[in-house]
Chains A and B, each alone.
Chain A
Amino acid sequence: MDTLALSRLQFAITAMFHFLFVPLTLGLGWLVAWFETCYVRSEEAQYLAMARFWGKLFLINFALGVVTGLTLEFQLGMNWAEYSKYVGDVFGAPLAIEALGAFFLESTFIGVWIFGWDRLSKKAHAAAMWIVAFAANMSALWILLANGWMQRPAGYILRNGRAEMIDFKAVCLNSYGWLEFFHTVSAGWVTAGFFVTGVSAWHLLRKNQEELFKKSFGAGAVFARAASLLLAGAGDRSGVNAAKNQPAKFAAMESVWETRTAAPYTLLTIPSLSGEGNYVEALKIPYALSLMAFHSPNAEVKGLKDFLPQDRPPVLPVFLGFRTMVALGMLFILLSGLSVWLWHKDLLGKYPLFLKLMFFAIPLPYIAIQLGWLVTELGRQPWVVYGLMRTAEGVSKTVTPGQVWLSLGGFALFYAALGAVDVWLLAKYAREGMEV
């Protein structure tokens, strides 16, 4: 493999590993802050126990999220120097602002929350977690505005052999970035909701601290339910957005080859492994694809044959990733809805099988999120900045394949070890239950 392929693989691995930890952080912070606020208001010790228990899990997860984020910042310069030079004027600004405006707050107040139990009033201590949760979600906004610019460049001109910013407002109000933001944070909240319901379900099955874990289950379920509906909305808008701004990506998501108006949605599609077209296209719903793409039954949907082969993203992984993600997203609405209902009717104890199911559902949002990012970033190919710079043009010129082999091997071993320790710690602390 050459430096390009290796660097892409390395970025994919390190970004996906980073994103095993970020989603839970995005959601669980709000829940911990909420539990602690309940404690401040009611003075009931059980809420304190809940805040502390879920807070501990939050921290174990948070630690690796922070350190693996550093890798991504370094890597842009290390492996993607040409890209960094070409777009730094525009792309660097949201990154710098993220560090200054959001990450500083997050990292400062997480320390205050961990160590400040006896040094702050109860209210101020709870406020520290609200700040952490807010700052974490703000971080996501700035990073996704940067990513949104790669998907749909705006507010720049090409000058002096690079992209230069001329309109920061256009960068900040980029609809692509905002949709990614809502899509990503709501997915993170779903992850946290399923994590809390799943861990609670495990304890409820064993009749451990039932009152505490019932309360946690309820909070997680309601949160997951609300977030999964928001997620569906954001997902729908993202589909429209892709169809409008990145037609090749949208065509790959649905494996559509021929351009046509009033396009039907094909329920059963099997893309051909080599060459163009699909082996199987069956069970068509008339107008559905045009509706999905443009919210209009007769709209024209572009097919992949409209693009030169070198301008198409890899179809199979984008197509499969998208279908699986959407199916999982619908499952989240169903499962979280059932969870809320059973919890509300106080029927959880009667359906141990459902509790077991919710425990095994913990990984599902993680899988959906990883697939979602595969669709987003593979679907952007062959561009690193859509329509502006090809991925192959962005890679560092001075870095040799040997160097990347070494770093890639290092990351693989190192991350596998860190990930294993972190998951083991999470499981250990989750099993121990709450301190009362």
Chain B
Amino acid sequence: MDYAKIWFVLWAVLWTGYFALDGFDLGVGFSGWLAADGEEQRGDVLSSIGPFWDGNEVWLITAGGATFAAFPPVYAALFSWLYPALLLILFSLVARGAALEFRGKVRAAAWKSCWERTAAVSSFLASLFLGVTFGNIFRGLEIGPGAYYGTFLGLLNPYALLTGLLFCVFFFFHGQLWLSCRTSGPVALKAAKLAGGAWYVLLLIFMFFAVYSYAATGLSGNFIVRKPLLALPSLLAAALMAAKILLARGFPEKAFLASFSAIALFLLTGFAGIYPALLPSRLDPAFSLTVYNSASGAYTLKLLTAAALVFLPVAIGCQVWVYGLFRTPLTAEERKKSGIY
């Protein structure tokens, strides 16, 4: 068995899991206030992600840790070459975590609105720059012989910015769907409306993104050679359509699952497109960091596979259980007991 290839799949799955899960709480973080009227409803909005966001973010830590352990050169290159982008993501996530925790700790309205704004700005910046980062990965980086020739401004190329925008709109849609099934009353109604509107924007950007990807990146190559891979983008299109139809028919929870699948399929499509590279070079494929030249040794990969087989089902099982446990919105009494104003 070729463990490097198995770990490419696991690597893709961990990042995919991160975006499909944290995507909705990032979206709620920066766009939830649009569905809320007044401080109390903003409280409803943020407490809808309260029990979940921390667990979701562990997927990022795990994806980062897995990159480090299974593909050390990729980890080193991604984080040091894209230093300013990663720094912005990091600051945003730290500020966001602090904001979500601190907001409910003091009763004063000014305190709350200060942290709500922090949560909104930081969630947006994190989404945008995660998108920019992955846009650059999909597009390929300026990797030459043994060195990196890119610049920070070069990271902000139109394709990457478009990917960033796509991430933001996707998370906006995903977050509003979450609110429409995990809050009640006027907030849920308004969120469903916002999600319905956002879907058209999402579709438009998506089509533009697909054409741009085909024209300006090497993503399509693998799909032409291996036709069965086309199932991924086809299912992605189907999931996107399903999300809209289910939402319009009044099944917000199913619509949320459809958009969850759509985000997952979107990332998987991207990862299928760059394979066997994890960081493709746009200068010459020979300089790409791939499963062949960047993986850890077979011993380590075997060990990591065993660890993933033991721990990942437990982790996923616990999270599924938690999503079931908090399926109904937190009551006012429960929020009080949690020490949240």
Chain A interface size band reads: 35 or more
Contacts of A118 in B (CB 8 A): 331, 333-334, 337
Contacts of A206 in B (CB 8 A): none
Contacts of B184 in A (CB 8 A): none
CB 8 Å contact bits of A73-90 with B (1 = contact, 0 = none): 110111101101111111
* Contact between B90 and A100, CB atoms less than 8 A apart: no
Check A121 for interface membership: any CB of B closer than 8 A: no
Choose one: A68, A109, A160; the contact of B318 (CB below 8 Å).
Answer: A109
* Contact between A88 and B333, CB atoms less than 8 A apart: no
Q: A96 and B54 in contact (CB under 8 A), knowing A116-B325, A118-B333, A399-B83? A: no
Q: A59 and B339 in contact (CB under 8 A), knowing A67-B98, A78-B86, A100-B307? A: yes
Binds A, one of B61-69, B202-210, B252-260: B61-69
Please provide the chain A residues from 397 to 436 with a CB less than 8 Å away from any CB of chain B in the complex: 397-399, 403, 406-407, 410, 414, 418, 421-422, 425, 428-429
Is the contact region of chain B dominated by helix, strand, or loop, or is it mixed?
helix
Check B134 for interface membership: any CB of A closer than 8 A: no
Binds B, one of A26-34, A164-172, A209-217: A164-172
Contacts of A88 in B (CB 8 A): 68-69, 71-73, 75-76, 296
* Contact between A77 and B54, CB atoms less than 8 A apart: no
What CA separation (Å) do A59 and B97 show in the bound complex?
12
Please provide the chain B residues from 301 to 324 with a CB less than 8 Å away from any CB of chain A in the complex: 303-304, 307-308, 310-312, 314-315, 318-319, 322
Check A66 for interface membership: any CB of B closer than 8 A: yes
* Contact between A93 and B303, CB atoms less than 8 A apart: yes
Q: A399 and B80 in contact (CB under 8 A), knowing A109-B318, A414-B91? A: yes
* Contact between B51 and A67, CB atoms less than 8 A apart: no
* Contact between B334 and A115, CB atoms less than 8 A apart: yes
* Contact between A105 and B315, CB atoms less than 8 A apart: yes
Residue of B nearest to A76 (CB): B68
What CA separation (Å) do A76 and B303 show in the bound complex?
22
Choose one: A67, A92, A410; the contact of B72 (CB below 8 Å).
Answer: A92
Q: A107 and B57 in contact (CB under 8 A), knowing A63-B98, A96-B304, A96-B307? A: yes
Residue of B nearest to A421 (CB): B102
Residue of A nearest to B47 (CB): A115
Check A99 for interface membership: any CB of B closer than 8 A: yes
What CA separation (Å) do A63 and B339 show in the bound complex?
14
Q: A101 and B68 in contact (CB under 8 A), knowing A74-B86, A88-B75? A: no
Check B50 for interface membership: any CB of A closer than 8 A: yes
What CA separation (Å) do A393 and B161 show in the bound complex?
35
What CA separation (Å) do A59 and B100 show in the bound complex?
12
Residue of B nearest to A116 (CB): B325
* Contact between B334 and A70, CB atoms less than 8 A apart: no
Check B246 for interface membership: any CB of A closer than 8 A: no
Check A283 for interface membership: any CB of B closer than 8 A: no
Q: A92 and B65 in contact (CB under 8 A), knowing A63-B97, A118-B337, A425-B102? A: yes
Residue of A nearest to B49 (CB): A111
* Contact between B300 and A90, CB atoms less than 8 A apart: yes
Check B58 for interface membership: any CB of A closer than 8 A: yes
* Contact between B58 and A103, CB atoms less than 8 A apart: yes
* Contact between B66 and A117, CB atoms less than 8 A apart: no
* Contact between A104 and B315, CB atoms less than 8 A apart: yes
* Contact between B325 and A119, CB atoms less than 8 A apart: yes
Choose one: A52, A81, A414, A425; the contact of B76 (CB below 8 Å).
Answer: A81
Check B231 for interface membership: any CB of A closer than 8 A: no
Minimal beta-carbon separation of B218 from chain A (angstroms): 23
Residue of A nearest to B337 (CB): A117
Contacts of B52 in A (CB 8 A): 111
Check A324 for interface membership: any CB of B closer than 8 A: no
5 contacts between A and B (CB under 8 A): A74-B79, A96-B62, A96-B69, A103-B62, A160-B297
Contacts A78-B86, A403-B87 known; 12 new A-B pairs at CB < 8 A: A67-B97, A70-B93, A73-B64, A74-B79, A84-B76, A88-B73, A89-B300, A104-B62, A105-B315, A118-B337, A410-B91, A425-B106
- Nearest 8 Cβ contacts at the A-B interface: A88-B72, A77-B79, A92-B69, A63-B101, A81-B76, A67-B97, A81-B80, A104-B315
A contact set with B: CB distance below 8 Å: 52, 56, 59-60, 63-64, 66-71, 73-74, 76-79, 81-82, 84-93, 95-101, 103-105, 107-112, 114-120, 159-160, 162, 164-166, 168, 396-399, 403, 406-407, 410, 414, 418, 421-422, 425, 428-429
